[in-house]
Structures are given as C-alpha cells and as structure tokens.
Amino acid sequence: MSRNRHPLFMPVIFVGGLIFGFGLGFSQMARPEVVLNFLQFEDFGLLFVMFGAAIVSGIAFAVMPRIRDSAPLTGNRYERRLKPFDRNVLIGGAIFGVGWGLSGICPGAAYASLGVGNVTILWALAGMFLGAYLQGRWRSRAASTDTVAAGAD
C-alpha cells in the first residue's frame, strides 16, 4: 500500500487532521481543565463533542459501504471500525480512564493542545510515549516468549 499511493493520499490525511484539530480547539477539548470539569460533573458539554463527532462519522460509516465498494485513494474496502472484544478492552480502558481522569488529556486532544499554544502539554505527550513504550516492550517480550519455545535463551 505504501508503494503506489495516490498522490492525494497524504494531502487528504493532512486536511482531515487539520479539521479534526481545529474542532478539538473549538470544542475546548484541547484544554485539560474543561475535560476535568466534565469528569467532575461541572459542565456536561463534552458529551456533545463525543457524540456529535460519533454521529457525523457514523453516518459516513453506515452510508459509504452501501454506495461504493472501496475508497478512491487506497482501494481499501469501506468497512466499519470493529475490533474484537477481549479482557484487554476492559483492562486497558480502565488504565486509560485513570490517566484521563488524572490529567484531563487524551491523545488527539493532546496534539491539538500543543497547537493552541499549550507547551505544558509536552509533559503529557512525554508520558504517553513512555507509557506506550513500556507496554510495547512488555508485550513484545510476552509475544516472543510465546512463539519461541521456552529455554531459547
């Protein structure tokens, strides 16, 4: 897929990101305080952001597969985002919840937050990379001990 990409592939990703980031700025989700206010039941506006966005994207996810088979820039089939359920969804979700509740920051909003001038957010970004690295290391190791028979080293 990466070899013969359509010349408009990257521009479309970029423009989509721009609108996405602008929306996060406009909705104030790039401000950890506003997210924390929601989690403390002081302002329920966040619900409008998440469900507003889900409804808009949901229309596309429902309609596109019926109109076209595949996307023009990649040839990818139009499919919904369906991930298999297992215990990790609960464990990971709970760990993410602790982080979100403590900091008021999630990945997309953190990138946008940097854009609105919140340099302090670099702490959160550093933390996210560290966390992703730790779990990736741990999982890579778990995977290699699974596949390579015990006693390989």
Partner 1 sequence: MVTDPVPLQLAAEIFPNGISRYAVGGLLVGLGTVVIYLGTGIPAGASTFLESTLSYVSGQSRFQQYVSSRDWRVVFTLGIILGGLAFAATIQSGVITTSLYQPGTTGELYEIGGVTLWSTEVQAWRLLVGGVFVGIGTRIGKGCTSGHGVCGVGSASKTSLVGVVTFLAVAIATAQVVAALGVGP
Chain positions 95 to 134 lying near partner 1, rule: CB under 8 A, are: 95-121, 123-134
Query: How far does Cα 48 stand from its chain's mean position?
Result: 18
Please tell me the count of residues contacting partner 1 according to CB under 8 A: 122
Report the site for partner 1 in 26-45 (rule: CB under 8 A). 26-34, 36-37, 39-45
Closest approach of partner 1 to the CB of residue 150, in Å: 18
Backbone angles phi, psi at 28, to 5 degrees: 70, 10
Does 145 engage in binding with partner 1 (CB under 8 A)? no
Please, which residue, 98 or 152, has the CB nearer to partner 1?
98
- We find the least distance from the C-beta atom of residue 151 to partner 1, in angstroms, to be 20
DSSP 8-class letter at 116 = T
Residue with tokens 């991930």: 83
Instruction: Report which secondary-structure segment, H or E, holds 135.
Output: helix 122-147
